[in-house]
Amino acid sequence: MSAITKRDKVMSSNEEESELRRGPWTLEEDSLLIHYIARHGEGRWNMLAKSAGLKRNGKSCRLRWLNYLKPDIKRGNLTPQEQLLILELHSRWGNRWSKIAQHLPGRTDNEIKNYWRTRVQKQARQLNIESGSKKFIDAVRCFWMPRLIQQNVNVEQKHNLSPSTSNSTTSYNSSMSNTNNLIHVSNSSQPPIMFPNTSSALPNALSPSPPPPPPPPANHQFLSIPSNNLVHSDSLQFSQALETSEVPESPYYYYYYSNNNNNNNNNPIEESWEVNENCNSNNGYGMMEGLNQEPMSGMEGYENLQYDYDYQYQRAESDEWVFGNMGGDTLWNMDTM
DNA sequence: AAGATGTTCAACCGCGGGCCC
DNA sequence: TGGGCCCGCGGTTGAACATCT
């Protein structure tokens, strides 16, 4: 018999290709795939597709299984905790969707990617900031993340985990505990903020507190948001931005983000989010007080810190939130989150 | 009510890496 | 060592649905 030429193979392959179905999966196809994998397991997708009697290529079967049919796929909207984790991990790893997805059980890389493109990038467009830019990451960390944390608090209050009244001027006491696979960041009058601790998410929140964050750079521009917007509105106008740079008056509270480069273990997540209490005057943060002090003063001893801080300040007295590194008339719409 | 526009997300595509022969 | 195959990843598309005008 004549040998099968490469051309024959290509033609045969093309004929098969033309018979392959594309587009949305039918219930029948889903059923075939589910039952075949239940009996034989997954993998070897091209062979699987043929053996299962599916007129699909292996890639399509794999995608359908991993992104839709697999039993442990989680359905429904991303929770604030999940959104927070995505923002955090993306700021660390960029578009490494599968890597990010590994830390959100039941969520697929495709889902996370879609979330990023449809929600997060939309916000970036509305803010007129290039997503992925330093400015955008700042905005995410300084504004979006705290809002998600606030959402967490609201959700947990709703579930009566810790009945209490919300009081945004309450000081955080930095107490932390680790129970039930959750990291708790709690304070005396609000329910704990919980980060999922799956795959050691944000594990270093339990490590000893790093040194206090530096004061904002002298060239930081601050925007102030009236507290009634913060509390009641889902759509915050940034147009009330202060025109001039201003160091926030203390007392204030901040979230800070530390990138602990001293930690040389193999844990892929090296950062921690912590909520700290500020600190009136005589505690090492005193350089933050007052508008007339040189913002960079008080940095002695911190020059060589291997921490990369981002921070958000809240004035306890005025209940205003002040953000660093943002400018322009912008709108951040929480409705789309 | 209907067409235009915007949004979401399942599915496809191309590419690169790893493995095997 | 190079070619073929498989797998997984990130980017992109387009159908379905929602909202706006």
The predicted-structure confidence for A168-186, as pLDDT tens digits, reads as follows 222 222 222 222 222 222 2
Domain boundary among A71, A96, A130: A71
Examine the domain organization and report whether A312 and A174 are in the same domain. Answer: yes
What total of structural domains would you count in chain A?
A: 2
Burial class (CB in 10 A: 0-12, 13-18, 19+), A230: middle
Examine the domain organization and report whether A173 and A315 are in the same domain. Answer: yes
Domain assignment present for A96: no
Question: Residue A154 has what pLDDT?
Answer: 66
Domain assignment present for A85: no
Domain assignment present for A79: no
Rounded-to-10 torsion of CA A96, A99, A105, A110: 40
Cα→Cα distances A112→A14, A96, A123, A138, A293, Å: 34, 10, 16, 20, 44
Examine the domain organization and report whether A174 and A66 are in the same domain. Answer: no
More confident residue, A93 or A274: A93
Examine the domain organization and report whether A161 and A310 are in the same domain. Answer: yes
DSSP collapsed to 3 states, A298-336: CCCCCCCCCCCCCEEEEECCCCCEEEECCCCCCEEEHHH
Tens of pLDDT, residues A126-185: 667 766 667 776 777 666 666 666 666 666 665 554 433 332 222 222 222 222 222 222
Q: How far apart are CA A112 and CA A223, in angstroms?
A: 30
Examine the domain organization and report whether A172 and A256 are in the same domain. Answer: yes
Question: Which of A41-55, A149-163, A271-285 is predicted least confidently?
Answer: A271-285
Which residue range is the domain that position A37 belongs to? 25-71
C1' (C20) to CA (A148) span, angstroms: 29
Domain assignment present for A67: yes
Q: Answer for A23: CB within 7 Å of strand B.
A: yes
Examine the domain organization and report whether A175 and A282 are in the same domain. Answer: yes
Tens of pLDDT, residues A105-126: 888 888 888 888 888 877 777 6
Name all protein residues with C-beta less than 7 A from any atom of nucleic acid chain C: A 6, 9, 23-24, 43-47, 58-59, 62, 95-99, 109-110, 113-114, 117
Examine the domain organization and report whether A182 and A322 are in the same domain. Answer: yes
Examine the domain organization and report whether A286 and A155 are in the same domain. Answer: yes
Q: Answer for A115: CB within 7 Å of strand B.
A: yes
Domain boundary among A38, A71, A104: A71
pLDDT-derived band of residue A27, with 50, 70 and 90 as boundaries?
confident
Domain assignment present for A15: no
Question: Which of A138-142, A292-296, A307-311 is predicted least confidently?
Answer: A292-296
CATH code, domain carrying A61: 1.10.10.60
Is the model's pLDDT at A211 over the cut of 70? no
Domain assignment present for A267: yes
C1' (B14) to CA (A196) span, angstroms: 35
State the nearest residue by CA to the C1' of C16. Answer: A24
Share of chain A above pLDDT 70, in %: 32
Examine the domain organization and report whether A177 and A39 are in the same domain. Answer: no
Q: How far apart are CA A93 and CA A269, in angstroms?
A: 10
Domain assignment present for A35: yes
Domain assignment present for A236: yes
Is the model's pLDDT at A331 over the cut of 50? no
C1' (C8) to CA (A20) span, angstroms: 21
Examine the domain organization and report whether A183 and A307 are in the same domain. Answer: yes
Domain boundary among A42, A71, A100: A71
